Amino acid sequence: MEFLSRILRYLFWVIVVAWGFRLLRWVFGRTLSDLGNSQAGGAAPGSPTEQDPQGISRRLVRDPVCGMHVAEVLAIPLREGSETVHFCSVRCRDEYAASNRRFAANG
């Protein structure tokens, strides 16, 4: 009987400690994320933190020139006919436009 009580006591403390760690992780995670948001200062107009206060993820788009993934709200768009292509930088956008002009000139 003593052996069974030791096992139950051990399981009880394992559960208590696990819940305690989970609670601490939750508290410190919230504190650190709140601290990071407050250090960022006021959000610039049109910034993702202003548009998305709950932290809901946005769609990622791929830059066709360098292959980098960028949040759609931060990407630089270029409209070609009915298609919109997104870029990570103005340099990539200009390189893409120049290559398309070169292909159009070659036929």
Q: Enter the tokens of residue 4.
A: 């069974």
Count of Cβ atoms closer than 10 Å to residue 75 Cβ = 23
Per-residue pLDDT reduced to its tens digit, 85-95? 999 999 999 99
Structure tokens at 65: 């020139």
Q: What is the pLDDT of residue 102?
A: 65
The pLDDT tens digits for 58-72 are 788 999 999 899 888
Q: pTM of the predicted model, to two decimals?
A: 0.44
Residue 11, classed as helix, strand or coil, is helix
Please state the φ and ψ torsions of residue 66, each to the nearest 5 degrees: -100, -15
